[in-house]
Amino acid sequence: MASNFERVYKMSFASVYPHYIQKAEKKARTKEEVDEIICWLTGYSLPQLKKEIDNKTSFEQFFNQAPQFNPNASKITGVICGYRVEEIKEELMQKIRYLDKLIDELAKGRPMEKILRK
């Protein structure tokens, strides 16, 4: 399992980012909402997010350098890719899956205030 994690950690965030947007836009949601979710979760500002994407930062660096990982992230629960996000032991993988879960909720039409755990 660890080798799969390593592969994901080394992937550039920029390579996956367009898929997040595509998934949202297919369901009539917006890039701005995707960006808002990413910024809420990680504490990056929009200019910082753009810089990380432009620099093709790896997932590992992206999450390890996040300015302020949201303390409400622990309220994110449910299943993504067959795993309960709240039960993932590997901290970095859990953070990645939190983001996947939030984008999933966006694509399923959930209101932003619920996605952002307000």
Distance CA 105, CA 112 (A): 9
Please report the pLDDT score of residue 94 as a whole number.
95
Please report the pLDDT score of residue 3 as a whole number.
65
The tens-digit pLDDT sequence of the chain (118 residues) is: 456 789 999 999 999 999 999 999 999 999 999 999 999 999 999 999 999 999 999 999 999 999 999 999 999 999 988 889 999 999 999 999 999 999 999 999 999 999 999 8
Distance CA 52, CA 73 (A): 21
Map out the domains of the chain with their CATH numbers: 2-115 (1.10.8.290)
Q: Which residues contact 55 (CB under 8 A, 6 or more apart)?
A: 14
Please report the pLDDT score of residue 4 as a whole number.
78
The predicted model scores a pTM of: 0.94
